[in-house]
Chain A
Amino acid sequence: MSDHVGRGDPEWPDDEAARRLRDVLGQEARAIQPSGDGLARIREKVRDRRRSRHGWLRPLAVSAAALATAAVAVIAVVIVEPHGNHGKTPHPAAGLSSPAPSTPAPSASAPAGPSPAASSTHPVTIYYVGKLADPLQLLYSETVLRPQPADNAYIGDAVNALLTTPANDPDYVSYWPAGTTVLGVSIQNDTKAIVDLSAGAATAAPDALDMGAISAQQLFYTVHGAAPKIDSVELRIAGKPVTSLWGSDIAEPITAEPPWQVFAHVWITSPADHATVAQAVTFGGDAIVYEGTVNWQILMNGDVLKAGHTQAAEAGPAQSPWQETVTLTPGTYTIRAFEVSAKDGSETYVDDKIVTVK
């Protein structure tokens, strides 16, 4: 939300516990993506309500229907979660990979009920390297839903996801060699993760030369995303600590480079690339931009149809969410977002997504 009124309030505790809580809530929230057809649904509901005012029988019928729905929803909750394990986290499947929210199993007639998948999956944020050298290779993120890992092995699961999940957006890539597996993960002093990868990790494809340093950050941020308490990652390959990766020196252990140095400054995290969306298209992501201004364009066949700018909640160097909604007619569009360079007015840190409006 944009009302950052209270953060500096000295009356409020802002200690370690508060900061961690803020981190965790922020991460959870980031995984929640509204479906995109909300505006259409609201307009529909407003129309229904207007109509119902013109006949007093109508509201009764509506509320009876609503009650029936509510009852179904509650039943769904009970069936889905017999052990009281209600949608274990506030970020179910809806809207992450599929933009349409109302696509649960046909029998689940309650739109409000948590989907069965929601209780057994969790969001994993995977970082990728942008293919465009603009101006450097930088990181982008995509969030995927994965089954809950056994024994709470969140770090191993996230690294596995990184090694085995190609980016949905073709502009993002991971240079970790195909076939690399996680041999083991252990934790030292609560804050250091030791990640041991199979021998294949040592051998880079030719296009990965010079990508060692950014790929180490990719690994670090993916691990940190899964376990926020981790502040360093010791990389081992086939059991041996390494200090260089594919010809680049890497820190040992790997620690965070500041986001403004290693993240692309403008991310579009929703909708997903090649998503199908409703006509009121809400797009957005995170940005680290001067004075918080994110520029965007809507293109069709290379022509700019709409353009504008929007404010991120905070200006850089903090990474901060932004979003915008436009109404489009059916067709295929490219959504571009970028920062205008304060130096020379050029477009930098471009991210784009192709969407089909139905």
Chain B
Amino acid sequence: MRTAGALLADMGSRAVLGQFDTATADEAVTEFYRTHYAGLVRLSAMLVGDTGTAEEVVQDAFVAMHGAWNRLRDPDKAVAYLRQAVVNRSRSTLRHRAVVAKYPQAPLPDVASAESFAVAATERAEILAALRALPRRQRETLVLRYYADLSEMQIADALGISQGAVKSHAFRGLAALRNLLEKTS
């Protein structure tokens, strides 16, 4: 393929707008599917808690990107758009579940029962449980940071908050995890 493929392969900063006129929305969807779909599904699943919902969320984000392609064009913008759409849609899925199911902390509650077989063996479960227990913004910040490896600015964009807020959510969230790890070790 002439296409999106070659052009978007380097997601770097050398977007020359004229070149991207040749990449149609359909080609962009195909190319971004190849390069980003699995990663975005994993990201969404980390936020919403199941793969089926995550795939729906990501597919809808691709459809939205397809619709917005005339505005986007630049692959950097398109990737940022996709990521933000995935994060936003994951969050509204959670909100919807929370409202209807009346779980204030809805998404991913407890795993481990009290009697632990051994501290070390359950650490993974405990870290996940602790993550789930964090306030939503803190949890989202940690997932975007330590799973998706986004920068502070990208996280701020994706969550629609300031960079300062990103920093403070990350610090508080990590402090809570650190506390837990100290307690159990």
Q: Is the CB of A38 within 8 A of B55?
A: yes
- A-B CB pair tally, cutoff 8 Å: 249
Say yes or no for A5: interface residue by CB 8 A criterion: yes
Contacts A17-B178, A21-B131, A88-B111; A95 near B51 (Cβ below 8 A): yes
Contacts A38-B37, A49-B63; A9 near B56 (Cβ below 8 A): no
CA distance A1 to B150 in the complex (A): 9
Indicate which residue in B11, B93, B108 contacts A88 across the interface (CB closer than 8 Å). B108
Interface size of A as a range: 35 or more
Q: Is the CB of A5 within 8 A of B150?
A: yes
Indicate which residue in A43, A49, A154 contacts B124 across the interface (CB closer than 8 Å). A154
Interface size of B as a range: 35 or more
Q: Is the CB of B38 within 8 A of A92?
A: no
Q: Is the CB of B185 within 8 A of A5?
A: no
Indicate which residue in B59, B107, B116 contacts A41 across the interface (CB closer than 8 Å). B59
Indicate which residue in B43, B54, B122, B123 contacts A20 across the interface (CB closer than 8 Å). B123
Q: Is the CB of B128 within 8 A of A89?
A: yes
A: residues with CB less than 8 A from B are 1-7, 9, 11-13, 15-18, 20-22, 24-29, 32-35, 38-39, 41-43, 45-46, 49, 70, 73-74, 77-78, 84-92, 94-95, 101, 111-115, 118, 149, 151-156, 185-187, 190-191, 193, 226-230, 280, 282, 284, 323-325
Q: Is the CB of B131 within 8 A of A92?
A: no
A21-B142, A151-B116 given. 8 additional CB < 8 A pairs?
Answer: A3-B149, A29-B42, A38-B58, A41-B59, A87-B108, A88-B110, A152-B118, A152-B125
Q: Is the CB of A39 within 8 A of B33?
A: yes
Q: Is the CB of A9 within 8 A of B59?
A: no
Q: Is the CB of B52 within 8 A of A32?
A: no
Q: Write the chain A residue with the least CB distance to B184.
A: A190
Residues on A with C-beta less than 8 A from B146 are 18, 21-22, 25
Q: Is the CB of A118 within 8 A of B50?
A: yes
Q: Is the CB of B149 within 8 A of A32?
A: no
Say yes or no for B101: interface residue by CB 8 A criterion: yes
B: residues with CB less than 8 A from A are 11, 26, 29-30, 33-43, 45-56, 58-60, 62-63, 66-67, 79, 93, 96-97, 100-101, 103, 106-113, 115-125, 127-128, 131, 142-143, 145-152, 154, 167, 170-171, 174, 177-178, 181, 185
Q: Write the chain A residue with the least CB distance to B127.
A: A24
Q: Is the CB of B117 within 8 A of A153?
A: yes
Q: Is the CB of B167 within 8 A of A152?
A: no
Q: Is the CB of A11 within 8 A of B167?
A: yes
CA distance A2 to B113 in the complex (A): 36
Residues on B with C-beta less than 8 A from A191 are 120
Contacts A1-B39, A22-B146, A186-B118; A28 near B128 (Cβ below 8 A): yes
Q: Is the CB of A42 within 8 A of B142?
A: no
Q: Is the CB of B181 within 8 A of A3?
A: no
Shortest beta-carbon distance, A201 to chain B, in Å? 21
CA distance A82 to B166 in the complex (A): 34
Most chain B Cβ neighbours within 10 Å, of A35, A87, A187: A87
Q: Is the CB of A325 within 8 A of B117?
A: no
In the complex, the 9 A-B pairs of residues with the closest C-beta atoms, listed nearest first: A187-B118, A1-B39, A6-B151, A25-B147, A17-B178, A114-B50, A325-B34, A29-B42, A112-B53
Shortest beta-carbon distance, B130 to chain A, in Å? 9
Residues on A with C-beta less than 8 A from B118 are 152, 155, 185-187
Q: Write the chain B residue with the least CB distance to A45.
A: B63
Contacts A34-B38, A86-B107; A94 near B51 (Cβ below 8 A): yes
Q: Is the CB of B37 within 8 A of A1?
A: no
CA distance A1 to B147 in the complex (A): 9
CA distance A169 to B171 in the complex (A): 43
CA distance A33 to B2 in the complex (A): 29
Contacts A89-B128, A151-B115; A227 near B121 (Cβ below 8 A): yes
Residues on A with C-beta less than 8 A from B128 are 24, 28, 89
Contacts A24-B127, A227-B121; A13 near B152 (Cβ below 8 A): no
CA distance A85 to B177 in the complex (A): 21
